[in-house]
Amino acid sequence: MEINKSHDIEGLITTEAIPEGRAVLLTSNPGFPGDLTGRLTNDPGAKLPDTLAEAARAHYLIAWQQNNVDPPIVAWPGYTFAMRQTFDMAGNLPTTQAIYMTYPGLQTGCAVPIPSGTLALGYTGVGGEFTLPSGCYIYNAAMQVPGTPLRAANTATDGAAFAGMLTVMASGTTALYEVSRFAAATFALTVRPLP
């Protein structure tokens, strides 16, 4: 997801694995495994919408937190403290942990989900504008028309694989975003939040 403009940014802790660019709603703080000082106790949790009512409250588009760490990068929640002596200990290999040479937040697309229990950023607010690459929303030909209202998909109506993706508004749903631009060559969708 590309953040073109944003005014409202919220620090979040994911309560489940969530692909970047999905619409999420705020929920209670799930706790953070590395929070030894208690400074993250006020950060809200983020979850994908399960029902139409939750989808109507999914005002935030989620993204990886900004990070300048050097590779290799290990997603924190799945990291075991046995790795504290790196790969020179027999018990540390083989590992099933995902290790990245490029920070997942800098990768194109929405294929690498933000793991459960990870710090993330939620973007919303009038005046914001966000570009979602192809595959990060549920395509409909109406999306090629600027001003088309969009809603957040939910598990009950659209299936767990599509929960949180933006899609064209249907009857009985709440419009949260509208199409700003659609790039026909790349199928990148630029959206802005509705007031």
The total number of structural domains in the chain stands at 2
Provide the token pair at 104. 């997942």
Q: How does pLDDT run across 158-195, given as a tens digit for each residue?
A: 999 999 999 999 888 899 999 999 999 999 999 999 98
**Is-contact 46 118, C-beta < 8 A?**
no
Q: Helical H runs in the chain?
A: 52-55, 155-158
Nearest Cα neighbor of 188 from 151, 143, 148 is 143
**Count of other CB atoms within 10 angstroms of residue 42:** 8
| Domain containing residue 83 | 73-104
Query: For the whole prediction, is pTM greater than 0.75?
Result: yes
Based on the fold, state whether residues 99 and 51 are members of the same structural domain.
Answer: no
Return the residue matching tokens 């009950």. 156
pLDDT mean over 98-115: 78
| Amino acid (1-letter code) at residue 53 | A
**Count of other CB atoms within 10 angstroms of residue 151:** 26
State the Cα–Cα distance between residues 47 and 12, nearest whole angstrom. Answer: 10
Q: How does pLDDT run across 133-160, given as a tens digit for each residue?
A: 999 999 999 999 999 999 999 999 999 9
What's the confidence (pLDDT) of residue 75? 57
Based on the fold, state whether residues 11 and 25 are members of the same structural domain.
Answer: yes
Based on the fold, state whether residues 32 and 109 are members of the same structural domain.
Answer: yes
- Using 50, 70 and 90 to split pLDDT, how confident is the model at 23? very high
Strands 2-5 and 129-132: antiparallel
Based on the fold, state whether residues 126 and 175 are members of the same structural domain.
Answer: yes
Based on the fold, state whether residues 115 and 180 are members of the same structural domain.
Answer: yes
Based on the fold, state whether residues 118 and 180 are members of the same structural domain.
Answer: yes
Based on the fold, state whether residues 141 and 178 are members of the same structural domain.
Answer: yes
Lowest mean pLDDT among 27-41, 79-93, 103-117: 79-93
Based on the fold, state whether residues 29 and 86 are members of the same structural domain.
Answer: no
Q: Which residue has the higher pLDDT, 49 or 172?
A: 49
Based on the fold, state whether residues 97 and 114 are members of the same structural domain.
Answer: no
Based on the fold, state whether residues 116 and 166 are members of the same structural domain.
Answer: yes
State the Cα–Cα distance between residues 183 and 144, nearest whole angstrom. Answer: 8
Average pLDDT taken over every residue of the chain:
85
